């Protein structure tokens, strides 16, 4: 009974918004189970901006941000393919591959992506450098499930360990509109940017499954 009570308490704590400003999620191993599920503040989006910071030593394909809807497993997906210089953004199961990305291993990278349904255009920023804009089309994103650490091949599940993320992720924000280039740069520089109004790392509601650690950020020493 005590164990069950503790389990309920841990689950409840994980689902309470937390300020993770000084924290990061660590995914220490290849697995088809370990993930973090994030709770969004809304259920319908005509436009999206997602920003995060990540570090990994993976040369294989892996998911950086996976949003699925009941009708699209790749509702909004940021995915690093096996090719060294390509990062893909998928919107409602339509992929746009952004080439020439200097995605170094064992290096922290700020990554942002925008999309809006009116133009159907998606764009990627890696280390503050914008890609060209590419057409993905896509209708409104509704009833999303957001997962870190795994790529959803069905709504909320069907994970493949060969696409799992190994490394650390922090500063995850999501907005229900497209940020301007200047706003993206403020996020990259961590300088007076407005936090996400859909996902806010400073007030994040989440639930972890499997071996995922919440650790202090590894800040440089001066």
Q: pLDDT tens across 100-114, in order?
A: 999 999 999 999 999
Q: Which of 86-90, 118-122, 175-179, 216-220 has the lowest mean pLDDT?
A: 216-220
- Give the residues across from 110 on adjacent strands: 53
Instruction: Read off the pLDDT band of 6 (50, 70, 90).
Output: very low
User: What is the average per-residue pLDDT within 68-84?
Assistant: 94
pLDDT at 14 (0 to 100): 55
pLDDT at 219 (0 to 100): 77
In the chain, where are the structural domains located? 42-214
Instruction: Read off the pLDDT band of 15 (50, 70, 90).
Output: low
pLDDT at 8 (0 to 100): 38
Q: pLDDT tens across 153-197, in order?
A: 999 889 999 999 999 999 999 999 999 999 999 999 999 999 999
Instruction: Read off the pLDDT band of 16 (50, 70, 90).
Output: confident
Q: Report pTM.
A: 0.92
Fold adopted by 42-214: Jelly Rolls (2.60.120)
Is the predicted pLDDT of residue 149 greater than 70, yes or no?
Answer: yes
What's the mean per-residue pLDDT of the chain? 92
Secondary structure, 3-state, the chain: CHHHHHHHHHHHHHCCCECCCCEEEEECCCCCCCEEEECCCCCEECEEEEEEEEECCCCCCEEEEEEECCCCCCCEEEEECCCCCCEEEEECCEEEEECCCCCCCCCCEEEEEEEECCCCEEEEEECCEECCCEECCCCCEECCEEEECCCCCECCECCCHHHCCCEEEEEEEEECCCCCHHHHHHHHCCCCCCCCCCECHHHECEEEECCCEEEECCCCCC
In a 13 Å sphere around the CA of 8, the CA atoms on its Cβ side amount to 5
């Amino acid at each position: 009974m005590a164990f069950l009570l503790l389990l309920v308490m841990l689950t409840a704590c994980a689902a309470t918004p937390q300020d993770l400003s000084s924290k990061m999620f660590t995914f220490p191993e290849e697995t088809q189970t370990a993930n973090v599920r994030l709770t969004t503040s809304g259920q319908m989006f005509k436009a999206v901006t997602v920003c995060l910071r990540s570090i990994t030593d993976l040369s294989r394909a892996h998911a950086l941000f996976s949003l699925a809807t009941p009708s699209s497993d790749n509702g909004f997906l940021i995915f690093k393919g096996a090719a060294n210089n390509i990062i893909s953004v998928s919107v409602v199961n339509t992929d746009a591959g952004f080439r020439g990305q200097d995605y170094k291993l064992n290096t922290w990278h700020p990554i942002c992506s925008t999309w809006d349904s009116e133009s159907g255009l998606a764009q990627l920023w890696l280390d503050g450098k914008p890609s060209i804009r590419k057409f993905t089309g896509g209708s409104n994103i509704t009833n999303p499930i957001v997962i870190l650490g795994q790529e959803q091949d069905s709504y909320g599940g069907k994970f493949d360990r060969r696409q799992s993320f190994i490394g650390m992720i922090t500063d995850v924000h999501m907005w229900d509109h497209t940020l301007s280039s200047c706003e993206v740069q403020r996020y990259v520089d961590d300088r007076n940017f407005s936090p996400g109004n859909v996902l806010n790392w400073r007030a994040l509601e989440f639930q972890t499954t499997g071996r995922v650690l919440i650790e202090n950020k590894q800040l440089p020493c001066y």
